[in-house]
Structure 1
């Protein structure tokens, strides 16, 4: 049987040779060089194929990078021609795959001429090519450079206006955050861009020349920030598109001028006069502030920061749901809060499908879920209540949203009835997002109960002896199989861990839609076991006239 890698290599070599490339000898991987016509010019390229199955993209670089910065061309000439996941290559067609990569390179180089300015600004931090540092910055506060030792002996550097994030990270590593030095952050209302002949800058003079071309009114402030102190101070420039840093490394003779026998300003004046001899250290910043962490992945969505949310039920669904909404901003921002309610403890029965683990055994679910969320991010406003939430209904009018994820229909109906009583009494009550599983995890459903003149939860099933209006199970399929458990009359509903995770995800999506003011459809169904369920479109149900909770059927008699 032919060696598949040898066959792939022959196909790649034949394809490139036909295109005029020649194989390079003495390379540790498979490499070829050739030329491509781009915008009327011959561009020399070097192609390195390290993975013959194309799970990793071939590395394609300019043969002669030159000194002029071009969009998508990294230091050393490597061309960023596709995001890792955006170009899918066929491992069964290695010759065709290498041609696709070369065509992507040609298109990228053509764009680097016609659209260079915009694309370079978008990727400015890459071209600055400094030492990597995380940032957690708020405008107006004093900032410090922190070092956070990791367990693998690597020092994580972080610039922050608060010690919360460095100390939080250090606590997770079992180390202590070190406040290395105070720094200055200059906020520039411009895009940082590549200007001047010497880029990226290597000296203080080159850094000033670059900044003079980008933000001329900030050069003097920049110099004072770096030098007008007892010792040089690292300075960060926060533009609209990137944040970068500069630290100066004084020559030995200028350093000596900071000692006795010299005027206080002698070393500063000398550093300014000999700026071409003062080397700099560049920093490339990567945002890690709370707003960035929340908003980066919420495409077309609005984070939950600043919302007051109560989650009733921290069981199989509620645990994953709590984590999902916390990662979407619940418990953050001004007035933001996330309150967790559950009277129960985590039992061995729960472990196979719960967010929590065996280390939380026999402890209150609400407390342990809250602790878990606090361990994932700093500055979360989360409170836990080991109590029955129904006993605190009168205190819940201040929430923006109540999420009911108990998975118990009796509890959901009781909460719905109490909410309708508040509405009938003329008192404002927040909307309720109900989330549940049907038929041993065969389907997940969510319903936004707006507690107004629209449908309430009981409208979905006015007669509890009958199937609901939007029942997801097929006819003759049992709603639930309950398995006897320890204790008098005890039982539980078995389902795999995938079911509550799916239900929680469906609920998070509904909550995010509510947050952006687009809650419809209010009833959403996701079938998990296709063999036991039938399709229902997501809908916004009308109020049912026979509903005993909110319709003409009158209030529920308790």
Structure 2
């Protein structure tokens, strides 16, 4: 039975009625007023007949006091009154949901008219600064020049064209460098639209707007445009790097009023029309910080990971996504084995890398996913590799003997993180010591042999499969490998962020086992052959 008649009756009681013209069968269009303390504002509302989304509200017309620009009011008077991520659509109460949505729209509109949402303009800046899309791949925030690249209808601003073209290699066509003037300037002020004429249409209007935000930035912009004019360039692009986002504009015909002679020092640039550019960041800093805002990333650090097996394959990629190998840093992956077909069921690498060195294959795969990263593969035995000079060493081999060798031989000033899987996927564990009084990995192994610090109650019985011609291996699914890698990354991010983190961390995966110990710190074991002097 349709709920529309009951909905219309409820809306009528609130002053809304069905529009005579219904342009779409998927939406019900109603008209009425949003009541505010400043008076009633006429509007249209488009209601999804399936009630799987909130009504779309359009002001008809936009009140004069909110022209030409106001927060949360978009083109043609659309009113943004709710963020989809902050509310849940209730498909079981369509009438109550619709009425509540219209009430919320009225509240937000009243706040806008009262000037209480003006600061939201900074967050909505790009809703009023629309134009041609440009990719931005610039590592440095320092003021300087850049290169403008074009591939068919795509444009990119870059300070490293080779890196940028690798990132955008999937786009059709061939990149070429445009002989346009490109300048980048920085500002400490977040942009926000003016309350009168917006967006700026000429160089003069843009400079007047910038002078109210950051006059020093205005002077930089003016100097860059003047220089392009004096160099005889018809087009110029200026990218402004602000705390919130980069934004940019281009001059359309900078030389439309040429100077009469070289002695003419006038700058007839202020009436030149500009084109707003919509910038899309693809730089490494943005990619790594986007999902962990305000947190420390691995950018600029030298990290060495030993073992590109079932744990290391996933962990290596996670480290790269957290910034390893960016901003002058390095991610070195060490493994002297090739990828065997039997590994494919739980390895990050696929069949295309079968019988190839795992270290080289993982480095190639990371660079394919995130071009431009400094990932160095070492397809040799770690015992032959120089591990000096790194900020962090990671043992992802899961081999107890090699882990103990690393504990004894690695540079003492370098933190060493071990990540491994207990038994046939019963639990995953990580261990890192951060204080001279704390024990090494060999200390932990010796404690476990005496029944201390075990992962689960009763310990873990060894379990092997494939004991025929194939040779023995420990059976567990790829999900275990991924969870071990995730624990490893969590440990690394706690270390780089200087957050409190126990030296020994355990996550029990088996429902038939109980954790034997809480996460804790392990003290140095007297007489340890690896770390005792």
CA drift at 1:42: 2.2
Q: Retained in 1: the 8 A contact 2:419–2:428?
A: yes
Aligned: 1:64 with 2:48 = no
Query: TM-score when scaled to structure 2?
Result: 0.87
Aligned partners of 1:81 and 1:108 also within 8 Å: yes
Q: Match of 1:436, SS? A: strand
CA contact (8 A) 1:473 1:479 kept: no
CA distance in 2 between counterparts of 1:189 and 1:354 reads: 45
2:17 to 10, 15, 22: 22
Mapping 1:442-457, distance limit 5 Å:
442-450=426-434, 452-457=436-441
Classify 1:68/1:116 alpha carbon distance in 2 versus 1 (closer, same or farther; 3 Å).
farther
What secondary structure is seen at the aligned counterpart in 2 of 1:97? helix
Q: Shift of residue 346 of structure 1? A: 0.7
8 Å contact kept, 1:438–1:479: no
User: 1:94 Cα shift?
Assistant: 1.6
Distance 1:185 1:464, change over 3 A: closer
Alignment partner of 2:134: what SS?
Answer: strand
Q: 1:171 to 1:194 in 2, by over 3 A?
A: closer
Aligned ranges 1:160-179 → 2 under 5 Å: 160-173=158-171, 175-179=173-177
Q: 1:236 aligns to what?
A: 239
Match of 1:285 in 2: 279
| 1:362 aligned onto 2:355 | yes
Matched, 1:308 2:292: no
Q: Tell me what 2:108 maps to.
A: 108
Q: Which of residues 482, 498, 503 is equivalent to 1:517?
A: 498
1:345 equivalent among 338, 350, 356: 338
Distance 1:353 1:169, change over 3 A: same
Q: Deviations over 1:174-220 (max 9, x none)?
A: 64222233322333343323226211123445434434444455374
Aligned-pair CA distance for 1:307 = 1.5
- Decide whether the 8 Å contact of 1:141 with 1:161 is kept in 2: no
How far off its partner does 1:121 sit? 1.9
User: Which residue does the alignment assign to 1:190?
Assistant: 189
Q: 1:51 to 1:542 in 2, by over 3 A?
A: farther
Deviations 1:136-183 (A, max 9, x none): 23324322322235xxxxx33222222134311343446422223332
Question: What stretches of structure 2 of length at least 5 have no aligned partner?
Answer: none
Equivalent-residue separation in structure 2 for 1:546 and 1:46 (angstroms): 80
Inter-partner Cα distance in structure 2 for 1:197 and 1:300: 34
The Cα of 1:319 is off from its aligned counterpart by: 0.7
Q: Is the 8 A contact 1:30 1:49 kept in 2?
A: yes
**Separation in 2 of the partners of 1:377 and 1:263?**
51
Aligned-partner SS, 2:119: helix
Following superposition, the deviation at residue 519 of structure 1 comes to 5.0
* Conserved? CA contact 1:307–1:400, under 8 Å: yes
Hey, what's the Cα distance between the residues in 2 that align with 1:97 and 1:179?
A: 53
Give the conservation status (yes or no) of the 8 Å contact 1:510–1:519.
Answer: no
Where do residues 119-130 of structure 1 align in structure 2 (5 Å cutoff)?
Answer: 119-130=120-131
Q: Distance in 1 between matches of 2:73 and 2:475?
A: 55
Contact 2:320–2:366 under 8 Å retained in 1: yes
Secondary structure of 2:421 counterpart: strand
2:120 aligns to what SS in structure 1?
Answer: helix
CA contact 2:338–2:358 (8 Å) conserved in 1: yes
Kindly indicate whether the alpha-carbon contact (under 8 Å) linking 1:136 and 1:288 is maintained by their aligned counterparts in 2.
yes
Map of 1:150-549 to 2, 5 A cutoff? 155-173=153-171, 175-180=173-178, 181-195=180-194, 197-216=196-215, 218=219, 220-221=222-223, 223-224=225-226, 227-230=229-232, 231-250=234-253, 263=260, 272=269, 275=271, 278-334=272-328, 336-392=329-385, 395-419=386-410, 428-450=412-434, 452-462=436-446, 465=449, 467=451, 469-475=452-458, 478-485=460-467, 487=469, 490-534=471-515, 536-545=517-526, 549=530
- Offset at 1:486? 5.5
Using the TM superposition, give the Cα deviation of residue 516 of structure 1 relative to its aligned residue in structure 2, in angstroms: 1.7
Normalising by structure 1, we get a TM-score of: 0.83
Contact 1:125 1:285 in 2 (8 A): no
What is the CA distance between 1:463 and its match in structure 2? 5.7
Is the Cα contact below 8 Å between 1:226 and 1:247 reproduced in 2?
A: no
1:26-51 deviation per Cα after TM superposition (whole angstroms, max 9, x unaligned): 22222222222334432333222336
**Counterparts of 1:458 and 1:482, CA distance in 2:** 24
Contact kept, 8 Å, 1:438 with 1:480, in 2: the verdict is: no
Structure 1 unaligned spans of 5+? 150-154, 420-426
- Give CA-to-partner distance per residue, 1:103-151, whole Å, 9 cap, x none: 44344334434433321123222222233222223324322322235xx
2: CA distance between counterparts of 1:49 and 1:312?
Answer: 57
Aligned to 1:423: none
By how many angstroms is 1:23 displaced?
Answer: 1.9
Distance, in Å, in 2 between the alignment partners of 1:348 and 1:234 is: 52
SS of 2:352 mapped into structure 1: helix
Cα deviation for residue 271 of structure 1 reads 5.6
Tell me if structure 2 keeps the 8 A contact 1:234–1:246: yes
Structure 1 CA distance, aligned partners of 2:389 and 2:417?
A: 16
The one-character-per-residue Cα deviations of 1:459-489 (angstroms, maximum 9, x if unpaired) are 334266554x3323343x753421025547x
Instruction: Give the 3-state SS of the residue equivalent to 1:117 in structure 2.
Output: coil
Which residue in 2 is equivalent to 1:422?
none
Assess, with a 3 A threshold, how the Cα gap between structure 1 residues 537 and 165 changes in structure 2: closer, same or farther.
Answer: same
Residue by residue over 1:223-251, the C-alpha shift from the partner in whole angstroms, topping out at 9 and shown as x without a partner, is 52564332232333334434332223349
Shift of 1:77: 1.9
